[in-house]
Structure 1
Amino acid sequence: MVQANLLTPPSRIPPQTALQLSQKAPLILASAPTSSLPWPLSLLFSRETPETWAIHENLLLAALRTGDDASARQILDRLTTRFGADNERMIALKGLYEEALAKDDKELEKIFNDYEKVLKEDPTNMSVRKRRVAVLKSLGRTADAITALTVLVENSPTDAEAWAELSELYASTGALGQAIFCLEEVLLIMPNAWSAHAQVATLHYLSGSTSIPALTLALRHFARSVELNDSYLRGYYGLKLVSQKLLPLLSESSVSKRNADEDDVAPPKPQSVKKLEEIATAKLGEIIRQYSASKAGQSGYDEAEVIAARELLDRDGKVER
């Protein structure tokens, strides 16, 4: 359904999905949700629902993703008419629209300066603070973006989105310890976020791909991600990859040489790791077969991820044809 897709779009929309959503613009824009009568009479004849404006906002984002600037402008104008140009959320959406149309760094700098003026008048506008960080990233000012996000999470320590963004920026600079810390904060706020578990597992893996403690932590988080989402391809991929790396390191001689440090992470038993590797292998094979049997775009899995999973299984001859 059009409304269902636009009301609850995926957090990271692939290009094909974004295109499908943006193509709904003519249908949505063809009908006016509000009456042209003056207020308060307009309320009596309005066709608004609680979902109406969430759909419009998600359609705006899809239109910008696909370069449909004309539809995006119409949607933005409709939202502005409804909520007013001074609305906190509208200021951020207008800025997002201008960012998407910016042709060079000079125009991005102007947008950044506009955000600075808004924040001088209203330092509590978190939506604009986040857009300001996005512009800093676009300008390549990673250190400044990290500083801005650090200030943001200090003032809003339960903002999981900001912590996740800060983790991504730290990881991009190679500061994996700080990146892991930020994602652990995300998990304190959202303990059942399977994608966050998979991301922190990936960072542990990258921080020590030959370290038993690091791989053990990666294994735990990947296992937790698939426990929370039984069809999570990335979680099973990581589970198999880490298991394969960890098993050779868990030989009796390797474990006996480890220092009995109180801070060490207790390693798993080899038989447990082997079992997890078998479960991941079986599940990845099932996902690949499901993807192959489904119609294009209807499996729910990203093609690139499925190809990577097939290649991983091909290495040890585990793909069932």
Structure 2
Amino acid sequence: MAPSLLHPPSQLSPAAALQLSQQAPAVLQNSPSTVSKSPFSALFSASETPELWIKYENLLLSCLRTGDELAAKQCLERLVARFGDGNERIMAFKGLVKEADAQHNGELETVLKEYEQILRDNDTNIPITKRRIALLRSMGRVPDAVSALVQLLDFSPTDAEAWSELADLYLSQGMYPQAIYAMEEVLILAPNAWSVHARLGEILLMAATAPGAAGASYQKYMAEALKRFSRSIELCDDYLRGYYGLKLVTTKLLKESAKLAKQAEEDGLVLPDTNTIERLNELATAKLSEIIRHSTAQDRGWRGYDQGEVAVARELLSEDSSAASRIER
């Protein structure tokens, strides 16, 4: 499916973002440069639609991502003309354009100071708060970004996006328990988000295989990772990352089944029996094979997968097949 300017471009591939940004000349030429705020304007011209401003916002983001700063600034000018400089969302877009224009850290520091001045005047400006956090992270000031996120979540504890960003920051520092806690907060806010379940499963798996993880903590992380990947594919039957994670966890558990069963009995932890783990492993293998086959053939209904992820899944199944062949010999 072709990318659309009506959908957020943040998760698009570079090629899809470029495809969107190339629409800039046509969109800017065929869309009104200004729209009257008068309620009588609709009597004399085409009515204003929310979709127009969504297009401008998403086009601005795609153009910044692909380096077309001239088109991005034209989109920004139209948004400013319609909503004004004092609109919090517009203030964040203006800051984003300045960040893109910055040539060195000194100019980024200037933008950062502008954000801080805005927040001194109004510390409830959430879009500017988030831009400041993103800028701190991009400048390598991770501890400052973490502190700012914690402050934001004290003010707005139901912000799933902020909890997810905090989890990612903790993960980048190898702080697995903190990252797990933050992702669990995301799940409280979005319990049916299969991608979040799988992401938590990935963090749990990383925690289990990190240096120093052993004994009861290792089993706890692996058992919880197994649950999260299983839940992700329960919520989305064709979710590649969920099946990939399930394959990784079950393969590892099967290799260590005797050792883990003994430790589980001693520590009082409950792991699924070997038969259940084998069935889950077979399910993951079969579904990954199906996804790879249909996606590679570009069959209808199977074209939305990231080809990099498909290639990694193919490699995982290849390694598993080679290992099985060696055991049989």
TM-score normalised per structure 1: 0.91
1:6 aligns to what SS in structure 2? coil
Letter aligned with residue 185 of structure 2:
E
Cα distance in 2, alignment partners of residues 166 and 199 from structure 1: 13
| 1:134–1:261 Cα change, 3 Å | same
1:37 Cα offset (Å)? 6.1
Aligned-pair identity in percent equals 48
Check if 1:284 corresponds to 2:291. Answer: no
Task: Note the alpha carbon deviations across 1:170-223, whole angstroms, 9 max, x for none.
Answer: 010110100000000000000111111111111111111362221111111011
1:5 aligns to what SS in structure 2? coil
Task: Note the alpha carbon deviations across 1:40-98, whole angstroms, 9 max, x for none.
Answer: 44343244212221121111111111111111011010111010011010000111111
1:11 Cα offset (Å)? 4.5
Q: Which residue of 2 aligns with 1:244?
A: 251
1:240 Cα offset (Å)? 0.3
Give runs of aligned pairs for residues 103-122 of structure 1, distance below 5 A.
Answer: 103-122=103-122
Is contact 1:33-1:47 (8 Å) kept? no
Cα distance in 1, alignment partners of residues 116 and 42 from structure 2: 36
Give runs of aligned pairs for residues 204-223 of structure 1, distance below 5 A.
Answer: 204-209=204-209, 211-223=218-230
1:36 Cα offset (Å)? 6.2
**Root mean square deviation of aligned Cα:** 2.0
Unaligned 5+ residue runs, structure 1? none
Give the counterpart of 1:275 among 267, 276, 279: 279
| 1:257–1:226 Cα change, 3 Å | closer
1:32 Cα offset (Å)? 2.9
Q: Which residue of 2 aligns with 1:82?
A: 82
Cα distance in 1, alignment partners of residues 13 and 277 from structure 2: 33
Check if 1:101 corresponds to 2:108. Answer: no
| 1:271–1:88 Cα change, 3 Å | same
Count of aligned residue pairs for this structure pair: 312
Q: Which residue of 1 aligns with 2:17?
A: 18
2:30 aligns to what SS in structure 1? coil
Cα distance in 1, alignment partners of residues 283 and 96 from structure 2: 43
| 1:242–1:124 Cα change, 3 Å | same
Check if 1:173 corresponds to 2:173. Answer: yes
1:162 Cα offset (Å)? 0.3
More deviation, 285-294/126-135: 285-294
Q: Which residue of 1 aligns with 2:242?
A: 235
Letter aligned with residue 31 of structure 2:
A
Unaligned 5+ residue runs, structure 2? 323-329
Q: Which residue of 2 aligns with 1:258?
A: 264
Task: Note the alpha carbon deviations across 1:290-318, whole angstroms, 9 max, x for none.
Answer: 121118xx811112111101100101228
TM-score normalised per structure 2: 0.89
Give runs of aligned pairs for residues 52-201 of structure 1, distance below 5 A.
Answer: 52-201=52-201
| 1:245–1:10 Cα change, 3 Å | farther
Cα distance in 1, alignment partners of residues 34 and 11 from structure 2: 34
1:38 Cα offset (Å)? 7.5
Letter aligned with residue 255 of structure 1:
A
Cα distance in 2, alignment partners of residues 24 and 102 from structure 1: 25
Cα distance in 1, alignment partners of residues 46 and 118 from structure 2: 32
Cα distance in 2, alignment partners of residues 38 and 289 from structure 1: 54
